[in-house]
């Protein structure tokens, strides 16, 4: 009997023949199966017996907890323990042996496997589980696997599995028709809603809902919260209020493996459990005995701010697919209840699937790995969602500043050292630097602290956490120190350590060196962004710190991890400060402040006036100030405005040879047209109206200046000899003139060589509008009769001839009789 047949009760069993057939005839397949179908454990065991499977199967899980649980479950299914036929590999915990044929690994481990061995020698199949989570490492891992299969291993099998998946997009990327779906056999789940009152914290709503359901229903409870902070606060509020027969277990990434295992073990007979979980419990693992799920509907996701290089965690609404997965956890073994802490009408507004991390993450690690792979542009690999251009550009800038890429974008020797370290690029650069010049173990220990939640406690002060970590005798801490020792290239050092965290962090985060400003606990970083520490914290009183982690938006960023920078470390860091001559425009005074400034990024260390400012730089600063503050600073006279209007009209009608006189264009090109006229000036208030007029004329240029009056004259000479001004402030030129002054005119007044008729605004003797026309001869023959009839009675002392085209123009009233 096959392994699969021993577990025929698992819902995915019915899909196995189709999957086995698909992977016999093809090398790529997609399996969609709902939560609890058994795909994570039964599929690898079944494929291990396939004829084509002579090597290992690599099962890739999104989280360590899921990887460890899946390996142990599979091993138990075949009567073994993890490390025999089935093993697992992750950052701080490995259980593999020479007998291992199924390796369950985390996404980052697989990426390193592929980069270190581009042929994936000895591997027959790579399975990507829970791919719907769209983690960056999973997307990149699949891209690498497809590239390896296409170029080096055409017999390699690739299988993508998920509980909720946009099947068409994944199958399209993999260019396969082998899509197998398993319906599953979930029990009925009663979905209810308990809308959270406005302004109430999610943990308060969660505690109230847990207490109510614990009293009304039987079975264990699984509650989903967005992050560690909400879980700990919820656990604290619950305390012992649920009674001795119910245990409360948190589960999140920062816990030790043993603590995580306790959360997923079945409750002891006669007891219940309440598991407070992040999305780590959405898929891949089963928590026995759960028949009640309470869903906050929230998830915390990383969002990159390209302008600062900071990745902040943002709490957002979970997707509909995620909500369905969470609810499904209540119906694994019996009919269950799922309570959603939002209004039922809000479900339709949720996004269908979670956004791919590749669209909003720091891509420096991806770009470095691609460079090591020999791919200069990540977009040359196959991704469902191509990485954004802006994020790639910022990643290249960062890697170049860290010495990982050269000017052509190729990986450097330093880059190869960094890539070999299981760390993000900034921390890898810190360790690589320390290997050459400093205490590499301390640097590696700091890096481990920042990438392994919970080690050394939760203090913001990394010096404090480092000291605690080096004294910690727990298995997890010992394993983490061993990892730090391996990364540092030497032995693990003792528990004593100097005040070095800040100096090391300054290598990794030079843009996050921060100086206190505006009072205790308020800092400004070298990248120009502000951040805050609680006033009661020791670090709040430091003059300089280095920020390793923070959260929140720019206006109220809260520091999560930092170290003080002082003593010789501070002196060495400040020695790298740049001294520049700054010429800055002061909008209030209109002048330029010339200062010799010493700064570390956006942090100003000192300033003093420049004794002999450079005239050229003052002129450039004046221009830049006007460009930033706008043209309103300049004294435009009526003549200047009229000139701009006339040239603007000619540009619209006679072609682009005429310069753009709009505010935007004048600001953008101010150095060219006004700059020469600012020579010797130190303040824009000294620019006179006449000087500005001459500068505008110079912008028009000598060749066109003579054409302005001919094509767009300032005045129209009427038949009476009057010079009547022409307005150019609208869409077309306007001539406002008393109608008597046009008597005898048989052609319509026009400009631009007769090509553009003036819009005539015909006025009464009292200069009030009586008619507008673009056809004066037509007006004489047409509506003049009506105008004449009305105006004769109102202005009897003025001429109103029946045929104005033959009448004599006049500026006067009728002469008095005898």
Please list, residue by residue across 100-123, b when 16 or more beta carbons sit within 10 angstroms of its beta carbon and e when fewer do.
Answer: bbbbbbbbbbbbbbbbeebebeeb
Tokens of 249: 């277990």
Judgement on whether residues 321 and 380 belong to the same structural domain of the protein = no
Cα distances (Å, whole numbers) of residue 557 to 25, 303, 524, 529, 549: 54, 14, 10, 9, 10
CA 343 from centre of chain = 29
Judgement on whether residues 142 and 92 belong to the same structural domain of the protein = yes
Judgement on whether residues 392 and 296 belong to the same structural domain of the protein = no
Furthest C-alpha separation in the chain: 135
Nearest alpha carbon to residue 726 among 754, 717, 705: 717
Cα–Cα distance, 199 to 202 (Å, whole number): 9
Whether 601 maps to a domain, the answer reads: no
Q: How many CA atoms lie within 13 A of 396 on its CB side?
A: 17
Check whether 494 has a pLDDT greater than 60.
no
Whether 517 maps to a domain, the answer reads: no
Whether 525 maps to a domain, the answer reads: no
Task: Work out the mean pLDDT of the chain and round it to a whole number.
Answer: 88
Judgement on whether residues 294 and 396 belong to the same structural domain of the protein = no
Check whether 313 has a pLDDT greater than 80.
no
Judgement on whether residues 724 and 700 belong to the same structural domain of the protein = no
Pairing of the two strands 189-193 and 246-251: unpaired
Judgement on whether residues 146 and 70 belong to the same structural domain of the protein = yes
The answer to whether 348 touches 330, Cβ cutoff 8 Å, is no
The band of 312, judged by pLDDT with boundaries at 50, 70 and 90, is low
The band of 576, judged by pLDDT with boundaries at 50, 70 and 90, is confident
Summarize the confidence of residues 19-31 as an average pLDDT: 93
Whether 600 maps to a domain, the answer reads: no
The answer to whether 494 touches 519, Cβ cutoff 8 Å, is no
Coil vs helix vs strand at 784 = helix
The 3-state secondary structure of 162-226, one letter per residue: ECCCCHHHHHHHHCCCCEEECCCCCCCEEEEECCCCCCCCHHHHHHHHHHHHHHHCCCEEEEECC
Determine the pLDDT at residue 284.
Answer: 59
**DSSP assignment letter at 49:** T
Judgement on whether residues 778 and 653 belong to the same structural domain of the protein = no
The answer to whether 362 touches 311, Cβ cutoff 8 Å, is yes
Judgement on whether residues 196 and 316 belong to the same structural domain of the protein = yes
pTM over 0.85: no
Main-chain phi, psi angles of 102, to 5 degrees? -120, 115
Judgement on whether residues 230 and 321 belong to the same structural domain of the protein = yes
Check whether 680 has a pLDDT greater than 90.
no
Nearest alpha carbon to residue 638 among 734, 736, 703, 725: 725
**DSSP assignment letter at 405:** B
Region class of 272: left (phi > 0), else alpha (psi between -120 and 50), else beta = beta
Nearest alpha carbon to residue 545 among 373, 556, 734, 560: 560
Q: What is the pLDDT of residues 85-94, one digit of tens each?
A: 999 998 888 9
Question: DSSP states of 439-465 as a string?
Answer: -HHHHHHHHHHHHSTTTT-S-SBHHHH
Judgement on whether residues 100 and 162 belong to the same structural domain of the protein = yes
Q: Report how many domains make up the chain.
A: 5
Whether 85 maps to a domain, the answer reads: yes
Dihedral sign computed on CA atoms, order 57, 62, 64, 69: negative
Cα distances (Å, whole numbers) of residue 4 to 11, 20, 186, 270, 577: 11, 11, 19, 33, 66
Check whether 808 has a pLDDT greater than 50.
yes
Check whether 164 has a pLDDT greater than 80.
no
Pairing of the two strands 290-295 and 220-224: parallel
Judgement on whether residues 100 and 53 belong to the same structural domain of the protein = yes
What length does the chain have? 818
Whether 436 maps to a domain, the answer reads: no
Nearest alpha carbon to residue 573 among 512, 517, 522, 524: 512
Task: State which H helix or E strand residue 583 sits in.
Answer: strand 578-586
Q: What is the pLDDT of residues 438-483, one digit of tens each?
A: 688 999 999 999 988 888 888 999 999 999 999 999 988 998 999 9
Summarize the confidence of residues 386-411 as an average pLDDT: 92
Q: What is the pLDDT of residues 762-781, one digit of tens each?
A: 999 999 999 999 999 999 99
The CATH number of residue 295's host domain is: 3.40.50.300
Determine the pLDDT at residue 816.
Answer: 58
Check whether 717 has a pLDDT greater than 70.
yes
Last residue of a domain, one of 144, 161, 181: 181
Whether 695 maps to a domain, the answer reads: yes
Judgement on whether residues 242 and 377 belong to the same structural domain of the protein = no
Check whether 183 has a pLDDT greater than 80.
no
Q: What is the pLDDT of residues 234-265, one digit of tens each?
A: 999 988 888 888 888 888 866 666 777 777 77
Check whether 657 has a pLDDT greater than 70.
yes
Cα distances (Å, whole numbers) of residue 816 to 720, 741, 795: 20, 20, 14
The answer to whether 132 touches 162, Cβ cutoff 8 Å, is yes
Determine the pLDDT at residue 264.
Answer: 76
Check whether 316 has a pLDDT greater than 90.
no
Main-chain phi, psi angles of 49, to 5 degrees? -90, 0
Check whether 77 has a pLDDT greater than 50.
yes
Q: Give the residue numbers spanning the domain of 687.
A: 631-711
Check whether 496 has a pLDDT greater than 50.
no
Q: Could you tell me what percent of the chain has a pLDDT over 90?
A: 56
Determine the pLDDT at residue 283.
Answer: 60
Question: DSSP states of 304-349 as a string?
Answer: EETTTTEEEEEEEEPPHHHHHHHHHGGGSSS-EEEEESS-GGGGGG
Last residue of a domain, one of 316, 334, 359: 359
Whether 754 maps to a domain, the answer reads: yes
Cα–Cα distance, 201 to 236 (Å, whole number): 14
Determine the pLDDT at residue 818.
Answer: 47
> How far from each other are the two terminal CA atoms of the chain, in whole angstroms?
135
Q: Which residue has the tokens 């490995």?
A: 94
Last residue of a domain, one of 420, 435, 463: 420
């Amino acid at each position: 009997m096959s392994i699969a047949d021993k577990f025929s009760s698992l819902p995915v069993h019915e899909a196995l023949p189709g999957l086995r057939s698909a992977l016999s005839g093809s090398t790529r397949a997609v399996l969609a199966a709902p939560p609890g179908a058994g795909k994570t454990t039964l599929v690898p065991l079944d494929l291990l017996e396939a004829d084509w499977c002579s090597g290992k199967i690599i099962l890739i899980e999104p989280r360590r907890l899921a990887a460890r649980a899946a390996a142990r479950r599979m091993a138990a299914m075949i009567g073994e323990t993890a490390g025999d036929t089935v093993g697992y590999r992750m950052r701080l915990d490995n259980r593999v042996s020479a007998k291992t044929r199924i390796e369950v690994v985390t996404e980052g481990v697989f990426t390193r496997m592929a980069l270190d061995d581009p042929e994936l020698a000895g591997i027959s199949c790579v399975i990507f589980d829970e791919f719907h989570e769209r983690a960056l490492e999973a997307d990149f891992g699949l891209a690498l696997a497809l590239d390896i299969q296409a170029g080096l291993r055409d017999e390699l099998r690739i299988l993508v599995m998920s509980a909720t998946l946009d099947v068409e997009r994944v199958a399209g990327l993999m260019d396969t028709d082998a899509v197998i779906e398993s319906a599953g056999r979930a029990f009925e789940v009663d979905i209810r809603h308990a809308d959270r009152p406005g302004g109430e914290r999610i943990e308060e709503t969660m505690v109230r809902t847990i207490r109510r359901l614990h009293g009304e229903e039987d079975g264990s409870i699984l509650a989903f919260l967005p992050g560690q902070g909400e879980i700990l606060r919820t656990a604290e509020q619950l305390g012992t209020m649920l009674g001795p027969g119910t245990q409360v277990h948190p589960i999140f990434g920062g816990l030790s493996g043993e603590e995580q295992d306790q959360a997923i073990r079945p409750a002891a007979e006669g007891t219940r459990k309440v598991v407070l979980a992040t999305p780590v419990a959405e898929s891949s693992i089963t928590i026995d005995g759960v028949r009640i799920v309470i869903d906050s509907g929230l998830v915390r996701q990383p969002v990159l701010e390209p302008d600062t290089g900071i990745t902040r965690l943002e709490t957002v609404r979970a997707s509909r697919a995620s909500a369905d997965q969470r609810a499904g956890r209540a119906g694994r073994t019996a009919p269950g209840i799922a309570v959603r802490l939002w209004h039922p009408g809000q479900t339709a507004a949720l996004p269908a699937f979670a956004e791919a991390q590749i669209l909003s993450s720091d891509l420096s690690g991806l770009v470095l790995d691609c460079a090591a792979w020999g791919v200069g542009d990540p977009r040359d690999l196959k991704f469902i969602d191509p990485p954004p251009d802006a994020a790639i550009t910022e990643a290249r800038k960062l890697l170049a500043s860290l010495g990982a890429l050269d000017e052509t974008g190729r990986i450097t020797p330093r880059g190869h050292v960094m890539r070999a370290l299981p760390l993000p690029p900034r921390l890898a650069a810190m360790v690589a630097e320390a290997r050459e010049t400093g205490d590499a173990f301390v640097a590696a220990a700091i890096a481990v602290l920042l990438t392994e939640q919970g080690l050394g406690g939760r203090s913001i002060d990394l010096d404090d956490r480092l000291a605690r970590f080096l004294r910690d005798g727990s298995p997890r801490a010992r394993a983490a120190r061993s990892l730090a020792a391996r990364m540092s290239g030497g032995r693990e050092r003792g528990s004593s350590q100097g005040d070095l965290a800040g100096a090391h962090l300054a290598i990794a985060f030079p843009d996050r060196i921060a100086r206190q400003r505006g009072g205790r606990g308020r800092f400004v970083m070298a990248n120009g962004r502000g951040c805050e520490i609680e006033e009661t914290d020791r670090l709040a009183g430091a003059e300089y710190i280095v920020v390793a982690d923070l959260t929140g938006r720019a206006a109220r960023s809260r520091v999560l991890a930092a170290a003080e920078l002082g003593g010789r470390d501070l002196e060495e860091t400040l020695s790298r400060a740049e001294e520049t001559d700054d010429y800055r425009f002061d909008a209030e005074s209109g002048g330029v402040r010339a200062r010799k400034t010493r700064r570390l990024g956006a942090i100003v260390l000192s300033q003093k006036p420049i004794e002999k400012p450079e005239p050229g730089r003052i002129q450039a600063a004046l221009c830049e100030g006007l460009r930033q503050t706008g043209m309103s600073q300049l004294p435009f006279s009526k003549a200047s405005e009229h000139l701009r209007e006339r040239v603007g009209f000619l540009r619209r009608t006679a072609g682009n040879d005429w310069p753009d006189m709009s505010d935007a264009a004048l600001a953008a090109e101010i150095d060219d047209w006004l700059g020469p006229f600012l020579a010797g000036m130190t303040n824009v208030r000294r620019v006179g109206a006449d000087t500005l007029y001459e500068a505008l004329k110079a912008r028009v240029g000598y060749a066109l200046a003579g054409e302005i009056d001919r094509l767009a004259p300032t005045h129209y000479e009427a038949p009476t000899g009057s010079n009547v001004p022409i307005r150019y402030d609208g869409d077309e030129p306007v001539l406002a003139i008393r109608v008597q002054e046009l008597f005898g005119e048989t052609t319509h007044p026009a400009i631009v060589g007769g090509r553009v008729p003036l819009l005539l605004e015909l006025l009464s003797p009292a200069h009030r509008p009586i008619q507008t026309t673009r056809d004066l001869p037509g007006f004489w023959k047409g509506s003049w009769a009506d105008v004449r009839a009305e105006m004769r009675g109102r202005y009897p002392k003025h001429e109103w001839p029946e045929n104005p085209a033959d009448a004599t123009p006049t500026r006067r009233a009728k002469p008095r009789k005898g």
